[in-house]
Amino acid sequence: MNIDPSQGNAAAFLHRYDGLAERLPGATIPAVRALRDAAAGTLRAGGLPSRRVEAWRYTDLAPMLRAEFREALTAVDGAVAMPVPRADRRAVFVDGRFRADLSSLDGLVAASLAEVIETVAGRLNTVASASQPMVTLNTLLFEDGLVLEVPEGVDAGRLELLSVASGETASTVHPRHLVRLGRGARLVLLETALSTAGARHLHNPVFEIEVAPEAKLTHVRVQRESASAYHLAHLGVRVEEGGTYDGFVLNAGGRISRSETHLALLGPRAAAHLNGAQLVAEGQLADMTTALDHAAPNCASRQTVKTVLAGRSRGVFQGKILVRREAQKTDGYQMNQALLLSEEAEIDSKPQLEIYADDVKCSHGATAGALDADSLFYLRARGIPADTARSMLVRAFLQEAVEVVEDEPARDALEEAVSAWWDQHGGVA
């Protein structure tokens, strides 16, 4: 492989693009090709972020950039182990490609991006920020994704979006998902990312989400990929007047995982919930970064993020609330709490408020500490084994974050992931 070192830390990805450009979806569509070529130019000029970039100062991508990935150039058509369904309808992506044989989209206005790219080309990069480096990388190499429309006034129920890495190749996948809810529409989107044990891959999904006036999207994301994987997700969300985005993210896997959300409240009475939890074990780094833009009056936002760290692990929380001058009567709340189960664990927390309006109610905070010794002693004194007592306290710590998820199947998925993580890592914390 002849890689030009002058292209910096993005050289391998640019080399891959040079070889795949004519085979990628939309190669013959001028608007799509222009987007990809612009992304290539951006990466050639600036590369991928290092810790010298303020937004990435706590998250070092060097291990990922040293890894050797190959493209999974052909779709995996054979049998793939699927978890028990949590919804009647399911969209399944294996190694970044839509699997119609494993999916059921009956009654939904939904399709594979690769199949309908000509009709949706104008929507790419209209919500997600093209200035974000992982969005730029996704734009360069995306091959597929889910395009979903919920028409005005329709309650679409629950849809499970499942992304599976087969582990057959050390590949990179860059799905681009476009989700749009019409006025007054409703949808519960339960997203799960899984991979086989030991699978080494880069999963770099980008969501572009539009919530129309009075619509509500409940979006629960569960990331349970292998400890050898890299998961770097970016969500761009726009919420119009009276609309609600109710989001929850659980990071419970990956060597390096980062969930980055940029959300704008664009009309009066719009609301956003950006809650989440991170479970981080030996040798892992989990980063939750959010930027919430209050751009209209009488809007509310809530964010509670809890992080549990075991062994030599590292957690990151960066949350910014921007309140613009016209966003009077804003009600914003942000809290980050970390529970360190090891003296070698580390948390970097950076909550921020930037307020230009004068009639607002905003607060933020961050705490970090170990398990409460008195509570642990209380449980042990009543005959509860040490591991069970620790598990009870950790679950109690997480409960405040998880219990805000109203959808029962989604909440069950979160609780299952928490149990699986504790079974694997609780005893060696």
- Gap between the Cα atoms of 361 and 376, Å rounded: 36
Query: Who's near 409: CB < 8 A, 6+ residues apart?
Result: 86, 87, 158, 190
Helix (H, G, I), strand (E, B) or coil at 231: strand
State how far the Cα of 44 lies from the Cα of 120, in Å rounded to an integer.
Answer: 27
Query: What pLDDT was estimated at residue 85?
Result: 87
At 374, is the secondary structure helix, strand, or coil? helix
Tell me how far apart the alpha carbons of residues 389 and 421 are, in angstroms, rounded to a whole number. 16
- Nearest-angstrom CA–CA distance, 278 and 330: 28
Specify the length of the chain in residues. Answer: 429
Tell me how far the alpha carbon of residue 54 is from its chain's centroid. Answer: 20
| Domain-wise residue ranges, the chain | 5-370
Count CA within 13 A, CB hemisphere, residue 368.
16
CA distances to 19, 47, 71, 133, 139 from 7, in Å: 15, 7, 19, 15, 18
Q: Within 10 A of 163 (CB to CB), how many other CB atoms are there?
A: 24
Residue in 148, 142, 138, 144 with CA at minimum distance from that of residue 90: 148
- Per-residue confidence (pLDDT) for residue 8, from 0 to 100: 67
Give mean pLDDT in consecutive 10-residue pieces for the chain, a chain of 429 residues: 57 91 94 95 93 94 86 57 88 95 95 96 88 94 97 97 83 95 98 89 96 98 95 98 98 96 98 97 97 98 96 96 97 96 95 95 93 90 89 88 91 92 76
Distance CA 171, CA 180 (A): 29
The reported pTM is 0.94
* CA–CA gap between residue 260 and residue 317 (Å, rounded): 10
Query: Token pair for residue 171?
Result: 């590949």
CA distance 357 to 20: 48
Angle at the Cα of 27 from the Cα atoms of 26 and 30, rounded to 5 degrees: 80
Which neighbouring-strand residues pair with 30?
none
